[in-house]
């Protein structure tokens, strides 16, 4: 992680290829619970045995700089659950009891998320879109987010299976509906 800190600080995101092997991705996807019908995700997976094992792996320890993972969510954009996420910042965090809080800006600025891609995510699969550097503005209003997204430039982040996207929660980001929906599973891990 240390070599990527400057890039993460400046752009608000870093793409890291080949964090997991295809076999590791398949094993994690098979071990995690599938979202309920028409639901796009499963929350509160931080205590799941597959997630705990993953967090102890050398690859994740290196990426996380040995920080503490506080939450894990599986997102699965598929033909049964194909959704759009509007431009936003991840300003609310969930505790173990699902309580939702919005911490101070300083806390959010110290956090990051690692999005592990358990499937390929091409342009047609509704990949993450970001506005680089937008996290540097702190907490933004809905109008400010809309202005930043319209001004761009918007960067689309298609990634291969096994890759990770490390991102700051205050980075302005979105995703589109998948044009060719198939599994697009992402394990989203939040770190303090």
Q: pLDDT digit string (tens) for 69-123? A: 999 999 988 777 777 889 999 999 876 566 788 999 999 999 999 999 999 998 8
Q: Under 8 Å CB-to-CB from 172, ≥6 apart: which residues? A: 87, 88, 89, 130, 131, 134, 135, 140, 145, 148, 149
Bridge partners, residue 173, by sequence: 88, 130
User: Given a cut of 60, is residue 1 above it in pLDDT?
Assistant: no
In the chain the first and final C-alpha atoms are separated, in Å, by 14
Query: What pLDDT band is residue 184 in, cutting at 50, 70 and 90?
Result: confident
> 2-191 has which CATH code?
2.60.120.620
- Separation of alpha carbons 52 and 123, rounded Å: 31
Mean pLDDT over 167-175 rounds to 97
Q: Where are the domains of the chain?
A: 2-191
pLDDT at 125: 85
In the block, residue with structure tokens 């987010």? 145
Q: pLDDT digit string (tens) for 52-63? A: 999 999 999 999
- Separation of alpha carbons 127 and 110, rounded Å: 25
User: Given a cut of 60, is residue 2 above it in pLDDT?
Assistant: no
Say if pTM beats, i.e. exceeds, 0.85: yes
Q: Distance of CA 102 to CAs 89, 92, 108, 167, 186, Å?
A: 11, 5, 9, 18, 23
């Amino acid at each position: 992680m240390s070599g990527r800190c400057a890039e993460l600080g400046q752009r608000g995101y870093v793409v890291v290829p080949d964090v997991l092997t295809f076999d590791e991705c398949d094993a994690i996807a098979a071990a995690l619970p599938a979202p309920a019908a028409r639901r796009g995700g499963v929350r509160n997976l931080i205590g799941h045995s597959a997630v705990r094992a993953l967090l102890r792996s050398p690859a994740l320890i290196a990426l996380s700089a040995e920080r503490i993972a506080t939450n894990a969510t599986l997102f699965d954009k598929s033909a049964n659950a194909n959704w759009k996420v509007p431009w936003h910042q991840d300003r609310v965090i969930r505790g173990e009891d699902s309580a939702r809080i919005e911490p101070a800006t300083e806390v959010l600025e110290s956090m990051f998320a690692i999005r592990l891609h358990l499937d390929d995510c091409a342009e047609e699969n509704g990949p993450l879109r970001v506005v680089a550097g937008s996290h540097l503005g702190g907490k933004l209003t809905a109008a400010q987010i809309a202005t930043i997204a319209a001004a761009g430039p918007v960067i689309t982040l298609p990634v291969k299976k096994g890759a990770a996207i490390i991102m700051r929660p205050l980075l302005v980001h979105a995703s589109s509906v998948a044009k060719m929906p198939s599994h697009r599973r992402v394990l989203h891990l939040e770190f303090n």
